[in-house]
Amino acid sequence: MSSTKFSIWLRSISNYLLAILLGVLLTVGVYRVSPSKAAPVPSTDSVTPPLIAQQLLNPQQASNSSFVTAAVNRVGAAVVRIDTERTVSRRVDPFFDDPFFRRFFGDDFSTQIPQERRLQGQGSGFIIDNSGILLTNAHVVEDADKVTVTLKDGRKFNGKVKGVDEFTDLAVVKIDGTSLPIASLGDSSQVQVGDWAIAVGNPLGLDNTVTLGIVSTIGRSSAQAGIPDKR
């Protein structure tokens, strides 16, 4: 081998060896990095989540301290279901008294049409006094011939409408019973916008239903809500 070729071959071998040596040194250097110099890992233990997040993360604790559950347990038994029946008179259409119509169907056809019909309704109320006084909406018991009040424990009573205020849509009903649960009236002047509002009732006959919302405003008239004949 000539000296020139030998020099080229030696230079190539040297370059390969140098590249391998650098690779080994870099690899060893990476493995020998001290852990204290590495980027710190955020600790999740030091972060305190908000209260709502804590309740979501701890459902058992949240359920034990739920103010909704406490409110329902306190007054839920005093919320009643009200079933009503009323008689509605049916006005005979003057068309049936038309001589031309009577000529074909007879004079007694209009008298065969029922003049009255029975309508049923449902609603909710709550007992405010252990003597059997309860409040409900006026439209629930309006013109009712029969009022049946059903308690959460299954007891049923005949109710008597004692008074109705259509302007405020409130009515007072009386039942005769003993050991009646009551829901005491609060002070509406203490209500503030943003307060929690818990509704307990029997909508559409679905007994013991609970919903939750907030007080969106106070002092708003019913006329602003499109009901001008109410307060």
Query: What would the pLDDT profile of 85-110 be if each residue is shown by its tens digit?
Result: 998 876 666 655 666 666 666 556 55
Q: 63-68 contacts: CB < 8 A, separation 24 or more?
A: 67/196, 68/196, 68/198, 68/210, 68/212
Number of independent structural domains in the chain: 1
Identify the domain containing residue 157 by its residue range: 67-225
In a domain, 48, yes or no: no
Helix (H, G, I), strand (E, B) or coil at 135: strand
Query: What would the pLDDT profile of 4-30 be if each residue is shown by its tens digit?
Result: 555 555 566 555 555 555 554 555 454
In a domain, 114, yes or no: yes
Contact 173, 211 (CB under 8 A): no
> What is the model's pLDDT at position 96?
58
CATH number (domain holding residue 90)? 2.40.10.120
C-alpha closest to that of 171 among 227, 125, 231, 115: 125
In a domain, 128, yes or no: yes
Query: What would the pLDDT profile of 43-53 be if each residue is shown by its tens digit?
Result: 545 445 444 44
